Chain A
């Protein structure tokens, strides 16, 4: 059974359909990259998988259930720069947040929860910054902390929204390393990015989106000049045949 199964889905934002014709699967241990320009609907698709926006046509099945029912086993990593850097919270506190659902409403996180959180932080290579204020870390480090928080949830499906945006090389390496480890452990990963080189490096499959799906399949076969040009609307340029560059707008 696929961790995520999308079948001819039409996703709406409020009541407007914004994304149509999405079909594809993500299996355990696989990384799928969502590729497309700004406004293509990548974030919307992720929100649909989380059950936060309506699926008005077709189906989105998460771990065999409806999206809202599967949240326990799904973790989401937002972009770090969407968060207030002045917020008075420590790195350790942020990672511990990943345990909240498991802890439940009335209880407080226990020693096990703290150990899981500490391990997660270690996996992204920031164990030494546990006591630091979240906002004092660099953008890339903050992104790693958010990934650690998701790892602490011990999800079967992991969703990341543009995780490599504005991230320095050291943090990028750490993120890739952690994702690789998650892959090996059998976590299914869906991440959006417009960094095609990274997408080719880290993902098994790619999904091309621009208000509709333009392609879904193994990365090598999908990230072709023709499909990319179609997706990006003639803004793709070809360089050296195997390296593809897209003009950013």
Chain B
């Protein structure tokens, strides 16, 4: 077991990949709780699509170096537009999102189809490049994590109130749209940060599964968040280890990002099972006591 769990990470590129994943685990784990309580799953998923035109534009303007700024800009624009659109009572979250999503994705497709061009750098954003993550990218992720986590910590109680009771929050004088904008931007940042390593297609898992798992074992924000981070970290670690061992010892190709996500889902399912069993055992004990 040592060969699977410890040895891979003595290799520098694996250690870097693990560091990146652990950083993302903390970041996405915390943001995931907010995604859960505000039901932003659809928003987060949409953002993974709306970054596409940003990536294309960035690539067209500045090559590979333009991809990240392009993605950031697109994600930020999505967050802002979304917040503005849902401020108007006539437009619901889902409608606004669907409109935005279709429009931005279409822009991306038009841009791409105008040139029969080279897509490798773009697909790396879709699927992520976990194993070739550099120290520089890790530093970037750390900065984003620091920024987002600090902001969410500072606004913790206000975000909780807004999520639980937006009417009371408004009555107390909090600007709902501003709190929403901050959170949407936080989600956007996580989408872009995580996309570089695990790809946009898998980012949504990082933003949804951790808190969903935490919700199975607790009904308090703090434990849910802790559990979410733990699940994400554990899955990152195990997923990487499995992917490494499969490739190096068995010649099996298990893409790093996807293996991490599958591991996370497996942990979720096992937790679901365990929680169900625990519940069944407890009610059995109760009915025994009654009888």
Contact status A76-B168, CB under 8 Å: yes
Note all chain B residues with C-beta closer than 8 A to A149: 168
Contact status B164-A76, CB under 8 Å: no
Contact status B173-A101, CB under 8 Å: yes
Contact status B167-A78, CB under 8 Å: yes
Q: Confirm or deny: B220 has a beta carbon within 8 angstroms of a beta carbon on chain A.
A: yes
Contact status B161-A100, CB under 8 Å: yes
Could you tell me how many residues of chain A have their Cβ less than 8 Å away from some Cβ of chain B?
A: 32
Residue of B nearest to A84 (CB): B164
Listed by A's residue number, 18 A-B pairs whose Cβ atoms lie within 8 Å are A14-B89, A50-B171, A52-B170, A71-B172, A72-B173, A76-B172, A78-B167, A82-B167, A84-B164, A88-B37, A89-B160, A94-B164, A97-B160, A97-B164, A100-B157, A101-B173, A105-B154, A105-B158
Known: A88-B37, A106-B154. A100 touches B172 (CB 8 A): yes
Note all chain B residues with C-beta closer than 8 A to A105: 154, 158
Question: Would you call the interface of chain A mostly helix, strand, loop, or mixed?
Answer: mixed
Instruction: Compute how far the CA of A78 lies from the CA of B170 in the bound complex, rounded to whole angstroms.
Output: 11
Q: Mark B159-180, 1 if CB is under 8 A from A, else 0.
A: 0110111011011110000000
Interface of B toward A, CB cutoff 8 Å: 37, 89, 154, 157-158, 160-161, 163-165, 167-168, 170-173, 215, 218-221, 224
Q: Mark A81-116, 1 if CB is under 8 A from B, else 0.
A: 011100111100110010011010110110000000
Contact status A109-B170, CB under 8 Å: no
Contact status A83-B165, CB under 8 Å: yes
Q: A72-B173, A146-B168 are in contact. List 16 more A-B contacts (CB 8 A).
A: A52-B171, A71-B172, A74-B171, A76-B168, A76-B171, A76-B172, A84-B164, A89-B160, A94-B164, A97-B161, A100-B161, A100-B172, A105-B154, A133-B220, A149-B168, A159-B171
Q: Confirm or deny: A68 has a beta carbon within 8 angstroms of a beta carbon on chain B.
A: yes
Contact status B220-A90, CB under 8 Å: yes
Note all chain B residues with C-beta closer than 8 A to A14: 89
Contact status B168-A78, CB under 8 Å: yes
Tell me, rounded to whole Å, the shortest Cβ–Cβ distance linking A112 to chain B.
16
Note all chain B residues with C-beta closer than 8 A to A89: 160, 164, 220-221
Tell me, rounded to whole Å, the shortest Cβ–Cβ distance linking B68 to chain A.
31
Note all chain A residues with C-beta closer than 8 A to B219: 88, 133
Residue of A nearest to B90 (CB): A14
Interface residues of A in 113-146 (CB under 8 A from B): 133, 146
Other-chain contact of B215, A78, A88, A97 (Cβ < 8 Å): A88
Instruction: Compute how far the CA of A83 lies from the CA of B172 in the bound complex, rounded to whole angstroms.
Output: 17
Residue of B nearest to A79 (CB): B167
Residue of A nearest to B170 (CB): A52
Residue of A nearest to B157 (CB): A100
Contact status A71-B171, CB under 8 Å: yes
Residue of B nearest to A76 (CB): B171
Instruction: Compute how far the CA of A109 lies from the CA of B221 in the bound complex, rounded to whole angstroms.
Output: 16
Tell me, rounded to whole Å, the shortest Cβ–Cβ distance linking A199 to chain B.
22
Ranked nearest first, the 10 interchain pairs of A and B with the lowest CB-CB distance are A76-B171, A71-B173, A88-B219, A78-B167, A50-B171, A133-B219, A97-B161, A101-B172, A87-B164, A100-B157
Note all chain A residues with C-beta closer than 8 A to B172: 71, 76, 100-101, 153
The residue in B89, B170, B172, B224 that gathers the most chain A C-beta atoms within 10 A of its C-beta is: B172
Residue of B nearest to A52 (CB): B170
Contact status A78-B221, CB under 8 Å: no
Contact status B221-A100, CB under 8 Å: no
Tell me, rounded to whole Å, the shortest Cβ–Cβ distance linking A149 to chain B.
7
